Amino acid sequence: MSKVGCQGCKGGTPLPFAFTMAFHPIIDIRQGAVWGYEALVRGTQGEGAAQILGMVDATNRYKFDQACRVKAIELAGALFPDAETRLSINFMPNAVYEPAACIRATLEAAQRVGFQHRQIMFEFTENEKMVDVDHVRRIIVEYRRHGFSTAIDDFGAGYAGLGLLASFQPDFVKLDMDLLRGIDASPARRVIVAGVTQMAQALGISVIAEGVETEAEFETLRGIGIALFQGYLFAKPAVASLPTVRMFGSEREPVLEACVPQAA
């Protein structure tokens, strides 16, 4: 295994740009509460993720990956220090780095802010086919060894499909928003999502519906048996703070409005 990635995320030249994180809630309708927050890259002057990611290249991607993890954990430790709320962090599966070595910065950051390992979930997605499936499997094994959970993001888009599910069996799958869009009016989408949900549950994998934008989509997905949701219907991401969340209760409860106060 090449040591390039591990060398790349050590000291040396700082990143040539500044960034922060926005937090987007994932809600659990069984509990009627926020289950966790996904950390999303943003610029410190309001730049979107695409502008920041456009400055990442082969010379700084490893350092950027490490810096994102640390930034997300440090902010989360200040914004939601309770031991139950999850933090979801994205990572690049095709990056060439050694799992045991490059998880150290994450472990140190979690210890520094008092964040429990079981609170942290790592999401990986594939818009390009994996270069080394066995290497990604080793990453997942190493993360689980430390108590972190893992998720396939954008499931149902690109290469993030049944092959990954068979290879890795993560703790969670996040259904791609394009698969869910307009599901209330599409029998085909309902059949597909219901089948994926049933299959995931049989494998002991929890399903998160992401990108939910309408109450009709939400009600359809809830009827299929999904309990974890993320999308603009509930809240938009808030930069370096926690947004106010529109909360929906369980099947036996009426829809209600619940607020998560903005961080000071």
Residues 11-45 have pLDDT tens digits of 557 888 999 999 999 999 999 999 999 999 999 99
* Mean pLDDT, the chain, integer: 84
The answer to whether residue 261 sits within a structural domain is: no
Which CATH number characterizes residue 146's domain? 3.20.20.450
**Residue 61 belongs to domain spanning:** 4-239
The answer to whether residue 31 sits within a structural domain is: yes
Q: How far apart are CA 197 and CA 246, in angstroms?
A: 24
pLDDT value of residue 262: 39
The answer to whether residue 82 sits within a structural domain is: yes
The answer to whether residue 130 sits within a structural domain is: yes
Q: How far apart are CA 250 and CA 248, in angstroms?
A: 7
Q: How far apart are CA 88 and CA 136, in angstroms?
A: 18
Q: Is the pLDDT of residue 96 over 60?
A: no
Q: Is the pLDDT of residue 5 over 80?
A: no
Asked whether 172 and 149 are in contact (CB, 8 A), the reply is: yes
Helices (H) then strands (E): counts for the chain: 10, 9
Tokens of 251: 């099947």
Q: How far apart are CA 115 and CA 124, in angstroms?
A: 21
* Mean of pLDDT values over 104-124: 91
**b/e map 30-65, b = 16+ CB within 10 Å:** eeebbbbbbbbbbbeeebeeeebeeebeeebbbbbb
The answer to whether residue 160 sits within a structural domain is: yes
The answer to whether residue 161 sits within a structural domain is: yes
Bridge partners of 22?
Answer: 40, 239
The answer to whether residue 250 sits within a structural domain is: no
Asked whether 194 and 224 are in contact (CB, 8 A), the reply is: yes
CA torsion through residues 100, 136, 48, 23, sign: negative
Q: Is the pLDDT of residue 260 over 70?
A: no
The answer to whether residue 262 sits within a structural domain is: no
| Residues in contact with 33: Cβ distance below 8 Å, sequence separation at least 6, in sequence order | 27, 247
- How many domains does one find in the chain? 1
Beta strands in 177-237 (DSSP E): 206-209, 228-229
Confidence of residue 256 (pLDDT cuts 50, 70, 90): very low
How buried is 114 (Cβ within 10 angstroms: 0-12 exposed, 13-18 middle, 19+ buried)? exposed
Candidate from 92-101, 106-115, 140-149, 239-248 with smallest mean pLDDT? 92-101
pTM of the complete model: 0.87
